């Protein structure tokens, strides 16, 4: 089963999935940039309708506390568009962690996350279906980030939910894997994010060899890394047999990412990236794994050991 904002569904109902997105977010407290505020509900509905028209049927929204999560808005968007939406429990990374949690230890983080998973988010009656996105800094794990990752791992072990991470510029993915494994989380529950931003192929391969899922989830962000380089890495990983561990998405976080403001929109992966993979000879079976089968497995609640 997968926990969505409207309730649990069978994994087979999930369909084509955007594995790491943000429909409602506000990073301006730290970034000081109004472009990083997505608070236009009608606009989000229109953008989500474009995604649905392109074949998208589910979307994982990894906006958490400190990033202005709005679970009730996500439920309304899901009801209006028919797209399954998964919301999260979690905190992002330093300096986005709310002030009240800045000195928390792993037990505090785990207690907070488990409370939301078992009792719902505040008084909304909406339950998170994933722990995330929990992150680390560029080539550095700050003390509060260490406690956060370990707390997320303990939560995943206790609840069976998957945990999705943020790696700044793709760094320290294997360190995150080791930390999560150390809490007793299974490889099937772990999604290491933003691995398409790491130009060091050996580091990404080390993450894949751990058996976990990885996110190729900043597709279209060519200012960080050209999509052609993402494609070359992806083709190599497919050739090596890792295609069942890879999730795709675009991680839209800005007004300028939306179609109504001249951006690519949430259907970028389906309308632009997938055709490029097809042109390079990637089979329909592999593409179905990337878009449908891998997310259905990755976001399913696991049985607790």
Judge whether residue 305 has pLDDT over 70. no
Average pLDDT over residues 17-25: 98
201-210: long-range contacts, CB 8 A cutoff, minimum separation 24: 201/233, 201/236, 203/170, 203/171, 203/173, 203/174, 204/170, 204/173, 204/233, 204/237, 205/237, 205/240, 206/173, 206/174, 207/173, 207/174, 207/177, 208/237, 208/242, 208/245, 210/174, 210/177, 210/181
For range 229-244, the mean pLDDT: 98
Residue matched to tokens 């919301």: 87
CB 153 within 8 A of CB 184: yes
For residue 138, give the CATH number of its domain: 3.20.20.140
As given in the structure block, the two tokens for residue 199 are 């130009």
Residue 126 lies in a domain: yes
- Average pLDDT in the 185-203 region? 98
The DSSP output letter for 65 is B
Asked whether residue 5 is assigned to any structural domain, the reply reads no
How many residues are given for the chain?
305
What domain count does the chain have?
Answer: 1
Assigned domain for 203 exists: yes
Task: Tell whether 7 is covered by a domain.
Answer: no
Q: Is residue 2 situated within a structural domain?
A: no
Mean pLDDT in residue range 21-47: 96
Q: Judge contact between 300 and 58, C-beta under 8 A.
A: no
Task: For residue 71, tell me if it sits in a domain.
Answer: yes
* Residue 161 near residue 86 (C-beta atoms within 8 A): no
Question: What mean pLDDT is predicted for residues 100-112?
Answer: 97
Separation between Cα atoms, residue 111 and residue 154, nearest integer Å: 9
Please state the pTM of the whole predicted model.
0.97
Phi, psi of 126, deg, nearest 5: -105, 135
Burial of residue 22 (CB within 10 Å: 0-12, 13-18, 19+) is: buried
Q: Chain centroid to CA 214: how far? A: 10
The verdict on residue 10 lying in a domain is no
pLDDT band at 303 (very low <50, low <70, confident <90, very high): confident
For 213, the 3-state DSSP assignment is: strand
What residues make up the domain containing 90? 16-298
State how far the Cα of 20 lies from the Cα of 61, in Å rounded to an integer.
Answer: 6
Which pLDDT tens digit goes with each residue over 238-263? Answer: 999 999 999 999 999 999 999 999 99
pLDDT (tens digit per residue) in 35-60: 999 999 999 999 999 999 999 999 99
Please list, in sequence order, all residues whose beta carbon lies within 8 angstroms of the beta carbon of residue 5, skipping any fewer than 6 positions away. Answer: 71, 74, 75, 78, 85, 86, 87, 126
Considering the chain, what is the average pLDDT of its residues? 97
């Amino acid at each position: 089963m997968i926990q969505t904002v409207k309730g649990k569904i069978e994994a087979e109902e999930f369909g084509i999935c955007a594995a790491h997105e943000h429909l409602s977010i506000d990073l301006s407290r730290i970034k000081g940039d109004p472009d990083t505020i997505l608070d236009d509900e009608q606009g989000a509905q229109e953008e989500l309708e474009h995604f649905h028209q392109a074949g998208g049927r589910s979307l994982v929204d990894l906006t958490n506390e400190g990033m202005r999560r709005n679970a009730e808005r996500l439920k309304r968007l899901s009801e209006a568009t028919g797209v399954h939406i998964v919301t999260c429990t979690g905190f992002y990374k330093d300096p986005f962690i709310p002030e009240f949690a800045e000195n928390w230890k792993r037990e505090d983080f785990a207690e907070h996350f488990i409370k939301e998973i078992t009792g719902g988010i505040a008084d909304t009656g909406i339950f998170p279906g994933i722990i995330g996105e929990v992150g680390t800094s560029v080539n550095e794990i700050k003390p509060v980030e260490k406690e956060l990752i370990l707390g997320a791992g303990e939560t995943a072990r206790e609840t069976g939910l998957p945990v999705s991470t943020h790696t700044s510029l793709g760094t320290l993915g294997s360190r995150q894997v080791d930390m999560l494994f150390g809490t007793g989380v299974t490889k099937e529950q772990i999604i290491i994010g933003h691995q398409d931003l790491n130009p060091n192929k050996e580091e990404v391969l080390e993450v894949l060899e751990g058996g976990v899922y990885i996110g190729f989830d900043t597709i279209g962000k060519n200012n960080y890394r050209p999509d052609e380089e993402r494609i070359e890495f992806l083709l190599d990983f497919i050739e090596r047999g890792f295609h069942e561990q890879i999730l795709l998405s675009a991680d839209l976080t800005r007004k300028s990412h939306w179609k109504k403001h001249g951006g690519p929109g949430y259907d970028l992966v389906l309308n632009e990236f997938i055709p490029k993979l097809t042109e390079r000879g990637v089979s329909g079976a592999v593409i179905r794994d990337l878009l449908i089968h891998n997310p259905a497995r990755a976001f399913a609640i696991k049985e607790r050991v």
